[in-house]
Structure 1
Amino acid sequence: MSSEHETLLAVMVASGAAMIIAYLNKKKPRRYWRTELYKKRTGSELMLDMKFQSVSGQYKNFTRMSPTDFDNLLNRIGHKISRQETYLRSPISAQDRLAVTLRFLATGDSYTSLQYLFRISKQAIGRIIPEVCAALVEELAEYVKLPKTPTDWKKISSTFDTVWNIPHCVGALDGKHVVLQSPINSGSDFFNYKSYFSIVLLALVDGNYNFIFADVGCQGRISDGGVVRNSKLYKMLTENTLGLPLPEELPGRQMKLPYFFVGDSAFALSENVMKPYPGDHAPETSKRIFNYRLSRARRVVENTFGISSSVFRVLRKPMLLEPPKAEIVVMSVVVLHNYLRIHSPNLYTPVVVVVIFVLTRFTRP
């Protein structure tokens, strides 16, 4: 074959390949803007029907809050999650956006399941939920605050002293693994010692089951001690910018004792972080009594994790989300927990529920 023929053949092959690639990349016209299923959206009507029957408890079971709290949230973030109406079609309302997000947080259901309940496509739900969660975190950030003055820290210490019988304690510190589906191209970065993929929620809690600090997103393979060292809290603690009170004497004592956070044995012992004595000790010994008192205070943070995950069950299921979006979802649960603890304590955490959590913790061996 002559060189001219070879050149012509190469040109024909290249042009044919280009035509095939162009055909494959050609954007096909959309068959539907919306299918009939989504045109008959009934989310607003569903919420309205449950609102008029709020005495039955269905509204609270569906959204995990009262109609008043839902309307208050809608008024606060409605302008952030609303979309402009166009000539093509009406946008999904802010009420439906908030409702589908709260339902996702309450159940952890898949987007496919939610699309049939709210008549919103799963692609739209995938955009709505992170946007609404980000709006909730931004708007309710004031509900999760570290104390700034020694007086504020002493108020927390007073609660731990009177309710949990441990003086000079200014917070209970612990980490919670939030289960993820294996993130793409992450290797073993998020694979923890419990043999599943996770991100870590590091939380500091006061004596009334409220979050006062939360750090979300550390890789699951990192230990609790490593999570603390990588957190903003540790940096403030080492730089002495937390505003903790100066060491003081206990009643009837002369030695000055610093104010401290309580944690389990995974944390490193320091001047402001207290952990139990290692090993088993004989009953009625001072070390055994100290460990008992410290564990009573430390379990406050575990109870807080239990309360929030029993209401917002998205924390109990593997999240089919990438870590950045999962972080926003977890942080929205944290701020909603504090928001509902303040505005609807009797509805969100009835006294009987708190008593059951405490008794369950103390009856364990």
Structure 2
Amino acid sequence: MRAAIPARIKLEITLSYLATGSSYRTLQRLFRVSRPAISKFVPEICDAIYETVKEYIKTYLMKPYSRVSLTKEQKVFNYRLYRARRIVENAFGILASRFRIFEKPMACLPETVDKIIKACCALHNWMRITSSNNYTPSGSLNEEDIDSGHIRQGSWRDEINKTLPSIGTVGSNHSSNLAREKKDRICRYFNGEGAVPWQE
């Protein structure tokens, strides 16, 4: 009877898979663990990673108003949302530059891809909080000069493979009534008590 694969080895293989994007065949050769075993435990370890650091994941999403003629309030909302979007672009850029698994299509079941994405996002957020100076050193993120409005591009753009495919439009991309109501409520906040002097 074969000995069980130690948890430490499973974690090393999974982290290597996420960080390098190496195939299971390559990992099999590097770690001397069978491909079937790797394909079985990678989703399990991704689940464990996610469960361990999931408090670093946020669960909200917002879309801009998309009409041609927008009210002043809707323009303010869209501008503020655009500024927030740059943060997301930084986050995904860093994520994709650190976890090379995102550089090419994943040859996995959709459920496994979900687990991989959750694990990478949770690890990314955890590293940003616990080891920010090493994970995202100075100059790696986009930064805006508040006086001029000029944006200096982060160095992650040089690290990332620029061939990440655009997903384009998926389905109709219509938001739900609940999402529109939430967007309108935040729009009112941005133009009321949440207004800032420079947004005028």
TM-score clears 0.5: yes
Maintained 8 Å contact 1:309/1:315: yes
Q: What's the C-alpha RMSD, in Å, of the aligned pairs? A: 2.8
Which residues of 2 match residues 95-110 of structure 1 at below 5 A?
A: 95-110=8-23
- State whether structure 2 residue 51 is matched by structure 1 residue 138: yes
CA distance in 2, matches of 1:342, 1:310: 17
TM-score (norm 1): 0.36
The residue that corresponds to 1:198 in the other structure is none
The residue that corresponds to 1:360 in the other structure is 153
The residue that corresponds to 1:204 in the other structure is none
Structure 1 residues 143 and 262 mapped into 2: Cα distance closer, same or farther (>3 Å)? closer
Q: Structure 2 residue aligned with 1:120, among 26, 30, 33? A: 33
Maintained 8 Å contact 2:46/2:116: yes
The residue that corresponds to 1:350 in the other structure is 137
Maintained 8 Å contact 2:141/2:153: no
Maintained 8 Å contact 1:98/1:132: yes
TM-score (norm 2): 0.63
Query: How many angstroms does 1:347 deviate by?
Result: 0.9
The residue that corresponds to 1:22 in the other structure is none
Residues 66-104 of structure 1, C-alpha deviations (whole Å, 9 max, x = no match)? xxxxxxxxxxxxxxxxxxxxxx23222211110100010
Q: Quick check: which one's helix share is greater?
A: 2
Amino acid at match of 1:342: I
Q: Structure 2 residue aligned with 1:306, among 85, 90, 93? A: 93
Query: How many angstroms does 1:140 deviate by?
Result: 1.5
Secondary structure of the structure 2 residue equivalent to 1:109: coil
Q: Structure 2 residue aligned with 1:316, among 100, 103, 117? A: 103
Q: Is there any run of 5+ residues in structure 2 with no aligned partner, and where?
A: 145-150, 155-200
Maintained 8 Å contact 2:90/2:142: no
Residues 92-145 of structure 1, C-alpha deviations (whole Å, 9 max, x = no match)? 22111101000100111110111111111111111121111111111222222x
The residue that corresponds to 2:63 in the other structure is 263
Q: Is there any run of 5+ residues in structure 1 with no aligned partner, and where?
A: 1-87, 145-211, 214-232, 234-260, 265-274, 280-284
Residues 155-183 of structure 1, C-alpha deviations (whole Å, 9 max, x = no match)? xxxxxxxxxxxxxxxxxxxxxxxxxxxxx
Equivalenced residues, count? 146
Secondary structure of the structure 1 residue equivalent to 2:22: coil
Structure 1 residues 294 and 91 mapped into 2: Cα distance closer, same or farther (>3 Å)? closer
Determine which structure has more spread, i.e. the larger CA radius of gyration: 1
